[in-house]
Chain A
Amino acid sequence: QSALTQPASVSGSPGQSITISCTGTSSDIGGYNYVSWYQQHPGKAPKLMIYEVSNRPSGVPDRFSGSKSGNTASLTISGLQAEDEADYYCSSYTSTSTLGVFGTGTKVTVL
């Protein structure tokens, strides 16, 4: 199962908005609304930020939002803050495996 494709890095200044893309196929992102996003700070476990494309778990700031168009999902961080500097991974249900598939990961840098 091939990984979902994410940009290696994205950067922005505090207060700006950035968007991370996650590209798959019609067998995963394009076919199902079971896309999730995870934030991982260095040396820490991943944290669920978005599930089912656009839903935020309790406690996740509303500056994090998710969307999907065709085979590409996106995570937008509005009003970027220093604490948002981390690695971000997307994930999707896929019809080609009994397990999900993760994205390649994106390092977000706050300038």
Chain B
Amino acid sequence: QVQLVQSGAEVKKPGASVKVSCKASGYTFTDYYIHWVRQAPGQGLEWVGWINPNSGKTNFAQKFQGRVTMTRDTSISTAYMDLSRLRSDDTAVYYCARELRWLQLDYWGQGTLVTVSS
């Protein structure tokens, strides 16, 4: 069965960086895009961006340009999201999700809480 398993919760200070991992299993990793979506406490869903695990091509929401990097290691079917220069308003649960097609997300990771606090 398809599973996306994310790394554990992180606590970071403002200005630091965080790297969240997303390990895929149950399907061919390079056949489906991986998206990253975040949800601030009590708020709605916000798209961060996506990575094509086959080519490594990425695309990010404009508000994260210059601060986010997405990579993958196909040998271990794992995608990564790196967010730098963290601010308090980056505190959120970050989800990875597999794209079925046309930006529709059919499987989601369990989420990783990133807390930014001094």
Contacts and interface: CB of A to CB of B under 8 A. Distances in A.
Interface of A: 3, 32, 34, 36, 38, 45-48, 51-52, 57, 89, 91, 93, 98-105
Contact of B47 (A48, A51, A102): A102
Interface stretch (B24-32, B68-76, B83-91, B102-110): B102-110
Given A34-B102, A38-B45, A91-B105, 8 more contacts: A45-B108, A48-B107, A51-B104, A57-B106, A89-B44, A99-B49, A99-B50, A100-B47
B106 A34 contact: no
A38 B109 CA distance: 14
Contacts of B105: 36, 38, 46, 48, 91
Contacts of B103: 34, 91, 93, 99-100
Chain A interface main SS type: loop
A104 B44 contact: yes
21 contacts: A3-B44, A32-B102, A34-B104, A38-B105, A45-B95, A46-B45, A46-B95, A48-B106, A51-B100, A51-B104, A57-B106, A91-B103, A91-B104, A93-B103, A99-B49, A99-B50, A99-B103, A100-B103, A102-B44, A102-B47, A105-B45
Given A48-B100, A51-B104, A57-B106, A89 B111 contact: no
Given A3-B44, A89-B44, A102-B47, A46 B100 contact: no
Nearest to A45: B108
Nearest to A37: B104
Interface string B14-52: 000000000000000000000001000000111101100
B61 interface: yes
